[in-house]
Chains A and B, each alone.
Chain A
Amino acid sequence: MSSAPAPVELERPDLGEAADTDRPWLTLVWNDPINTMDYVTYVFQRVFGYAKPKAEKLMLDVHRKGRAVVANGGREEMERHVEVLHSYGLWATVKRDD
């Protein structure tokens, strides 16, 4: 992501969902040099209904680690998320949790 104004407040990540083994498919978002940090944060809030601190945390994970798991659940649900994220221009993929 290209650098935009730095986000300010951060919250602890919600690890409860990612640890749920009944939700075996993941929606990943990959870092890219074009989407801006503020846009990606906004999209996470709008698409997933995440509060801004969680959206910013995920955006920073994407930015710093190259990718982040932004949702998990059933395969069809993850494919729908990826389709919506593609409509916003984010680089998202579905992956089985392993």
Chain B
Amino acid sequence: MTDGADESNTSWFQVGARPGGVRVRLGSDAAGLLRALMEQLLDLVGDAPDDASGLAAFGIAESAERPDDPALARLFPDGYRDDDAAADEFRRFTELGLRDAKRETARAVLDVLDTADDELTAELDEAGAVGWMRAVNDVRLVIGTRLDIDEDGDNRPDLDPADPRAALYAFYDWLTAFQSALVYALE
């Protein structure tokens, strides 16, 4: 399967099924964009706690509160909707591990991107491809939350191309198309 494979455009990508996984090809701009977005995701998710002693060594926080940043709150949502105490307890037991998992998937994408300077051709096994899908979705969740994306795309403002949000919409659409190609190839 081929998607967005106009190679005169350096943001092109190709995703194809292969036995046991997928093959991903990215134009130089697409690889650079994905790298920049994964690095920003890592910055947003933040570092693991320095002090991994005590409960934190087991992935359990002393305490946990819903993040104030809406994008972080979307990456780490409440596990209970109408029970604040249960939601806090769920977060205390799960959020450190989820942050680790999101860092790992983003870093795994960066590791593959590091194997090429310009255009990228990578063979991913199934687990690797699922990791890419998840990391790409994490970035979509962050950008979509920042842009207040709605279901039908009806609230997209008519933006001047110089507006920074215009670039974010373009990134979001690119990530959506790329993720869709990964899903299709994995199926």
A: residues with CB less than 8 A from B are 1-4, 28, 31, 33-36, 38-39, 42, 46, 52, 79, 82-83, 86-89, 91-95
Contacts and interface: CB of A to CB of B under 8 A. Distances in A.
Interface in B102-118: 102
Contacts, number: 84
Contacts of B80: 93-95
A33 B102 CA distance: 21
**Top 10 closest pairs, chain A to chain B, by CB:** A34-B144, A33-B151, A89-B137, A93-B81, A83-B94, A42-B183, A38-B183, A82-B79, A87-B101, A33-B150
B187 interface: yes
B48 to A, nearest CB: 16
Contacts of A33: 144, 149-151
B90 interface: yes
Contacts of B76: 86
Contact of B145 (A34, A36, A38, A83): A34
A79 B94 CA distance: 9
Interface in B50-105: 74-82, 86, 90, 93-94, 97-98, 101-102
Interface residues of B, number: 38
Interface of B: 74-82, 86, 90, 93-94, 97-98, 101-102, 130, 133-134, 137-138, 140-141, 144-145, 149-153, 176, 179-180, 183-184, 186-187
B98 A34 contact: no
Given A89-B134, A89-B141, A79 B79 contact: yes
Contacts of B82: 95
B44 to A, nearest CB: 14
A18 B149 CA distance: 33
A11 to B, nearest CB: 17
7 contacts: A36-B179, A36-B180, A39-B133, A39-B137, A83-B94, A93-B79, A95-B81
B13 to A, nearest CB: 16
Given A89-B134, A95-B81, A83 B140 contact: no
